[in-house]
Amino acid sequence: MSKVIAVISGKGGVGKTTTTANVGLGIARNGRQCVVVDFDIGQRNLDMILGLENRVVYDMVQVMDEEARLDQALIRSKANSNLYFLPASQTKDKSVLESEKIEKLLKDLRKRFEYVILDAPAGIESGFEHTIEFADEAIIVVNPEVSSIRDSDRAIGILDSKSRKGKEGGEVKKHLIINRVDPGMVERGEMLATDDILEILSVDLLGIVPEDKGVIDASNQGHPVVLDDESEAGAAYRRIAKRLCGERIPLVEPQAKKEGLVGKLKGLFR
């Protein structure tokens, strides 16, 4: 049975689009048919992270307006044949989104894919509401900082009240990804600890992604970090994808690297 999963954050800059690309590719690497859909109308970025920007011909708005067939707009990933991408329009704005057209599009995608991952725009305006409207599940991406947690808490409230499931008395299943965690800063009290975040948001933890400078380089190169076997962040995304595919994978809390004697001596002279 197919799942529509909205990836949300409440604010920009937390790594939501990077998460969408890496989780989607991770699911595809587990042998599941997956499509990632960019719902950020007018601000398309998912194509660049996937390295597919030069392959975009048609977009989701043209499909919904019947100016192009779904087959024409879907782009197969270069990294894995199980992953497809449906781009957002760069020439329209969020006002073009209509519930009836979105519902039809998602029904068509459900017929073809086991996982339909929707990358929501930043903020909690109309584009966000259309992304969550027909979602079965949601992934909330946060950074371990107060502003990110506060904005995500508000986004969860809108998800519960304005999604189709919420309006019908049900509940969208929610997963939490804590992104860009620096364990050293957590130990020093400069970042919120995992337990504190979970207490505030009351959402099941799907995974913790450590701070990794390689993520930006990988995104800029159109080569998602989930493909990098040497990356800690890549390993975290691979574990997250396996959990979404139903595997029981233990949660891994990033650990601060112990500084050696040379590093401690250097620190004395900084």
| Residues 6+ away with beta carbon under 8 Å from 45 | 17, 38
Residue 127 pLDDT: 86
Domain segments of the chain as ranges: 3-268
Convert the pLDDT of each residue in 26-72 to its tens digit: 999 999 999 999 998 878 899 999 999 999 999 999 999 999 999 99
Tell me the C-alpha distance between 151 and 134, whole Å. 21
Q: Strand 75-76 vs strand 83-86: parallel, antiparallel, or unpaired?
A: antiparallel
Per-residue pLDDT of the chain (270 residues; tens, 9 = 90+): 899 999 999 888 999 999 999 999 999 999 999 999 999 887 889 999 999 999 999 999 999 999 999 999 999 999 999 999 999 988 777 678 899 999 999 999 999 999 999 999 987 777 899 999 999 999 999 999 999 999 999 999 999 999 999 999 999 999 999 999 999 999 999 999 999 999 999 999 999 999 999 998 999 899 999 999 999 999 999 999 999 999 999 998 998 876 555 554 555 554
Q: What is the largest CA-CA distance in the chain?
A: 66
Tell me the C-alpha distance between 42 and 35, whole Å. 20
Q: Strand 3-8 vs strand 83-86: parallel, antiparallel, or unpaired?
A: unpaired
- The length of the chain in residues reads 270
**Rg from Cα positions in the chain:** 19
Residue 270 pLDDT: 45
Residue 263 pLDDT: 53
Tell me the C-alpha distance between 159 and 129, whole Å. 8
pTM (2 d.p.): 0.93
Give DSSP secondary structure letters for the chain: --EEEEEE-SSSSSSHHHHHHHHHHHHHHTT--EEEEE--TT---HHHHTT-GGG--S-HHHHHTTSS-HHHH-EE-SS-TTEEEEPPPSSS-GGG--HHHHHHHHHHHHHH-SEEEEEPPSSSSHHHHHHHTT-SEEEEEE-SSHHHHHHHHHHHHHHHHHSHHHHTT---EEEEEEEEE-HHHHHTTSS--HHHHHHHH--EEEEEEE--THHHHHHHTT--GGG-TT-HHHHHHHHHHHHHTT---------PPPP-HHHHHHHHT-
Residue 27 pLDDT: 98
Q: Strand 137-142 vs strand 173-181: parallel, antiparallel, or unpaired?
A: parallel
Type of residue found at 199: E
CATH code of 3-268, in short, is 3.40.50.300
Type of residue found at 166: G
Find out whether 76 and 28 touch, Cβ atoms under 8 Å: no
